[in-house]
Every structure is written in structure tokens, then in C-alpha cells.
Amino acid sequence: MGATVHPSPIAVPPLSVSDARGVLGKRSVPGVANLHMTATDAHLGRLALAEPSASGELEREIDLPGVRRAAGDLLRALGADLDADGLQETPRRMADAYAELLSPRPFTPTTFPNDEGYDQLIVAGAIPFHSLCRHHLLPFHGVAHVGYLPGERIIGLSKLGRVVEYFARDLQLQERLTTQVADWLERTLEPRGVGVVLEAEHLCMSLRGVQKLGARTVTSALRGLVRDDPRTRQEFLALATRTGP
């Protein structure tokens, strides 16, 4: 089965995401069905919609010198002596660490035509992830269970893990992360259904406040038949539970 980067089976030459952005700009594209659009325009629209960035918040420029200065100011305000052994390079290390944690790695959402007509659930379970709570800038980490009921196209299995990582590299809420992954799959593949379940421990709950070490938060986002058909929903949730930690 040959790989293609076309999110839709429109017979036009392959075009990169940058090509699509050049034609469409950064504006939102609610849909590609338009009486005035050519086949190439429609392809460009779908390619832009399939691009991992679904939120302008991920398209950030990190000012490393500014972060280092701010980290130094924070440490001094906390009473740290930045001339002490082991602390002299801490502002730089903090800046580098946050830059890494908040820099999503783009990827090409490689999809394939569903030539065999596969019509059952595809689930990738227990995908490890970590992110930063946007309220306290403390990590939360856990596993994601991601599945979909394919339509005309299927996606490379590794991309299910990559899209979780992509949206996790942000100042996040677990609820928002769950929804972003589900919305991206629905928009990119146009499947018959999507299911995403995240289980995570939040250090802002484990190490401070109520200090409930080991408490896990579970969120879900269900779309299409995975939400509306009781048997499909039950099957997805059973598979997600089976592949849990």
C-alpha cells in the first residue's frame, strides 16, 4: 500500500503544508466545499486543515534571553543566590527546559486510502504523554487512548502518538488537550467516529494544594458513531480500558 500525504483523494500533484499556507494564509478555513474553488484550491484547503496546528497558541516564538532574565528574577525573588555553586546556570537551564516543553514538533499527517474497506475501530492505547498545566506551570502526565472508525482514509499509526505529543507541548488543560486531539482527527480524516480518552496525574494536585499523590483525572471526547452508537461507544471504551496502565 503506497503512502500519500493527500488528506483527500483529489488527483492533484503533491503539495507541502507550506504551499498551502502560502495560498491560504493563516486564516481559518471552515470547509473546502465552495462553488468557486478549483480542485487544486480544495486540495490546498484540506491540506491546511490537516496541518497539526489547530490553535494559534501553538505558533509561538520563544524569547530565550527574555526567559533567562525572567527566570533569574524569579529565583532571586525566591531568595536564591545565583552566585552559589549549582545555581549560576540555572536560569539558562530553566529557559531551555521550558522552551523544549513548549515547542511542538510539526509532522506530516500521512494518510492512506482505505482500499480494503476496513470498517472496524482502530485504537492506539496507552500512549504516554506529558504536558504543562497552564494554571501552575507544573507537569501533568499519563496515557492517551486514541481511536477512530475509518471512512475513506486511514492514518499511519505513529501519527496517533505524534498528534497527542504535538498538542501536549503547550500550556494546557487536560480537557482542552483531549478535545484538540479529537477535533484534529475528525477534521483530518473525516472518519465515521472518533474517540479520545486521557488519563493523567497532575502534579499541581499531587505536590501542592490537596496533595493527593497518585490521583488520576480521566477525560474523554467522543465524536460521530463512537458517541452516538451505544455498541460502538461501549466497544471503544472497553478497548481503551483494556490498553490502560
**10 and 45 in contact (C-beta within 8 Å)?**
no
What percent of the chain has a predicted confidence (pLDDT) above 90?
65
Q: Quick count: other Cβ atoms within 10 Å of Cβ 221? A: 22
Beta-sheet strands, E only, within the chain:
111-113, 122-133, 139-149, 153-155, 171-172, 193-202, 217-224
Q: What pLDDT was estimated at residue 35? A: 41
Q: Which residues in the chain are classed under CATH 3.30.1130.10?
A: 109-242
pTM: 0.75
Q: Write down the CATH number for the domain with range 61-101.
A: 1.10.286.10
pLDDT tens, position by position, 103-157: 998 888 889 999 999 999 999 999 999 999 999 999 999 999 999 999 999 999 9
Q: Residue 53 corresponds to which amino acid?
A: S
Say which residue, 103 or 8, is predicted with more confidence: 103
Alpha helices in 121-196 (DSSP H): 157-168, 174-189
- What integer pLDDT is reported at residue 186 of this predicted model? 96
Which has more confidence, 40 or 207?
207
Name the CATH topology of 109-242.
GTP Cyclohydrolase I, domain 2 (3.30.1130)
